[in-house]
Amino acid sequence: MIRKSRIQPRRYRAFTERDIDRIPQLRAYDADRLLRMKAVARVLPFRVNEYVVDELIDWRRVPDDPMFQLTIPQEGMLDPRDLDRMVKLLRAGAAEAKIKASAREVQMRMNPHPAGQMELNVPSLDNEPVPGLQHKYRETVLVFPSQGQTCHAYCTYCFRWAQFVGIDDLKFAARESESLAAYLKAHKEVQSVLFTGGDPMIMKTAVLRRYIEPLLEDEFKHLVSIRIGTKATAYWPYRFLTDPDADDLLKLFEQMRKAGRHVAIMAHYSHPRELETPAAQDALRRIIDTGAVVRCQAPIVRHVNDNAKTWSEMWRTQVALGAIPYYMFVERDTGPKNYFQVPLARAFDIFTNAYTQLSGLARTVRGPSMSATPGKVLVDGVAEIHGEKVFVLKFLQAREPAWVNKPFFAKFDASATWLDDLVPAFDESSFFFERSMEEIKRGRRQPAWGDRPDRRRPLVLFGSVEWE
């Protein structure tokens, strides 16, 4: 039975780039600073709502407040030359087409779709690509519902920023639930479906049902879990409390559980402040009461959460509220990465220092993890082996299942921020997976679990490929 929330309803109101002047707390800023914010917001997506502005940002601490850095455009997010050019265009009242063209030029230099999302992750059915799906790892399919390709508010670090800048050829979107069902019928190896975006929780429950209910039928018994990635638990908890269809949404979670599916709400919490409000805590209680599990993840980002105290406090709070710490990610090599990125060595130190402050129940968390082109690479340690200081790495997920959990080593580099910055240790010429990865990129073969016309299965053994 869905219990009623005691939280008072709240009307959703969003602010976008056109509304920066209308945010009451920003009216104290001078015109030049507001113009620079607008210049950033013409290149990178900006959307915030009154709940975030009124209850999450501590305006006494601005500009250093983490939630301010997390949601409000910052000048340092653009290269100074790009920022100056955008400011000059806005100040001169340039034509909209010229502003958009300049913004597009900057966007295309910011690696809008990292980790092979466009080139390598889109699957095919009957030799035709399936729009709005990604199938990178054997057991998991990602779904981008077309109606869920926005959010209640945007994170300034968002690695999927390209979904929100109004450029159709940078956007993933699945327009038909039928194509999802057809693909899953043909791929019994898939155990988990992840609805993502954007934020699927921006959708009305009736729309979400059209995607999920078909997957509860017996013909999809191979699906162990259905996941929903969302920031709504942090940015708009009223989605689960007092929105008109909030109760219906929770009933859908119950229906999914009764059908035998594990229901995982993949909640993005970047800072403990997002868990402190009564609305946020009541939203978690209502979700968990349905039998759904809330798993929490976020990247480590400079200016927001790049210290051990923030992470240990956040993970402890999550456990106290009944949620499960899941991942600390590394900020991806896209968008305003130079403003937010944290060196891998420092990220590992922060993770370790926070991890050692936790009880075993919170040590479900994994990280720091890079969602790179070959897979999810964990920075598992820093060690000295035969006199050489190295990063100890391994795949938590990989395009080739045979790569998972195999340790490999990179030379220690205190300034490295991503897998591509690393070189193999011990004078090796390449990492064990690189040759196979190049073959996949060139289209010479599918991953070992993928379909092949000749039905032969490649055996991948530390970079060499042999065919059965």
Q: Which CATH superfamily is domain 124-368 in?
A: Aldolase class I (3.20.20.70)
- Model confidence at 168, in pLDDT bands (50, 70, 90)? low
Write down the pLDDT at residue 456.
36
CB-CB contact of 315 with 269 (8 Å): no
Q: Between helices 246-258 and 205-212, what is the axis angle to 10°?
A: 20
Rounded to 5 degrees, φ, ψ at 295 are -110, 135
288: left (phi > 0), else alpha (psi -120 to 50), else beta? alpha
Domain boundaries, the chain: 14-108, 124-368
Per the model's pLDDT, the better-predicted residue between 183 and 131 turns out to be: 183
- pLDDT mean across residues, the chain: 91
- Pick the closest to residue 449 from 135, 114, 223 (CA basis): 135
Write down the pLDDT at residue 28.
87
| Percentage of the chain lying above the pLDDT 90 cut | 79
Q: What angle do CA 272, 248, 222 make, to 5 degrees?
A: 85
CB contact set of 387 (below 8 Å; sequence gap of 6+):
none
CB-CB contact of 176 with 113 (8 Å): no
pLDDT in tens, 241-253: 999 999 999 999 9
Whether the per-residue pLDDT at 314 is higher than 90: the answer is yes
pLDDT in tens, 284-299: 999 999 999 999 999 9
CB-CB contact of 375 with 393 (8 Å): no
Whether the per-residue pLDDT at 152 is higher than 80: the answer is yes
Write down the pLDDT at residue 144.
93
CB contact set of 208 (below 8 Å; sequence gap of 6+):
145, 148, 195, 200, 249, 252
d(CA 379, CA 255): 38
CB contact set of 15 (below 8 Å; sequence gap of 6+):
22, 23, 47, 48, 49, 50, 53
| 298 sits in which H/E element | strand 293-300
- Pick the closest to residue 225 from 175, 289, 293 (CA basis): 293
Rounded to 5 degrees, φ, ψ at 100 are -65, -40
- Model confidence at 453, in pLDDT bands (50, 70, 90)? very low
pLDDT in tens, 184-214: 999 999 999 999 988 999 999 999 999 999 9
d(CA 110, CA 170): 12
Q: What is the DSSP letter of 143?
A: E
- What three-state secondary structure class fits 54? helix
Write down the pLDDT at residue 441.
87
Write down the pLDDT at residue 116.
54
Q: What is the DSSP letter of 393?
A: E
- Model confidence at 100, in pLDDT bands (50, 70, 90)? very high
| Percentage of the chain lying above the pLDDT 70 cut | 91
